[in-house]
Amino acid sequence: MSTREPPHPPVPRSLLTRLPIFYGWLIVAAAFVTMAVGVNARTSFSLLFPPILAEYGWDRGVVAGVFSFGFLTSAVVSPYVGRMIDRQGPRLVIEVGVITLALGLSLATLAREPWHSI
């Protein structure tokens, strides 16, 4: 008599293992698109400066001040974001960052006064 166990049924492969490309490349692509949108939203100011002045009629100093305030805020918040990534992990912090970026870009369309942009 044999003491061999009966064979186990085949384990279905997950969707990720059936992808025709390495899953890590999807992560790289998502990070690339997210960074492209985020960086371009921040650095397109010089291109958009004349249309913003024409659209709103604000002083050049006010518009540049709002832009500078945004960069100053980013510089102050960055160390805290780094600490959150260390404690909570990048997945949560990046998801919150993407949601915040999308919300900020969406709400920027409603700005009518300089203090709305802050």
Q: Give the count of alpha carbons within 13 A of 102, CB side only.
A: 8
Read off the pLDDT of each residue in 102-111 and give the average, rounded to a whole number: 86
**For the segment 73-89, what is each residue's pLDDT rounded down to a tens digit?**
889 999 999 999 999 99
Q: Is the pLDDT of residue 16 over 70?
A: no
DSSP 26-72: HHHHHHHHHHHHHHHHHHTHHHHHHHHHHHH---HHHHHHHHHHHHH
Phi, psi (degrees; rounded to nearest 5) at 66: -65, -45
pTM score > 0.85 for this model?
A: no
Give the residue with greater pLDDT, 8 vs 63: 63
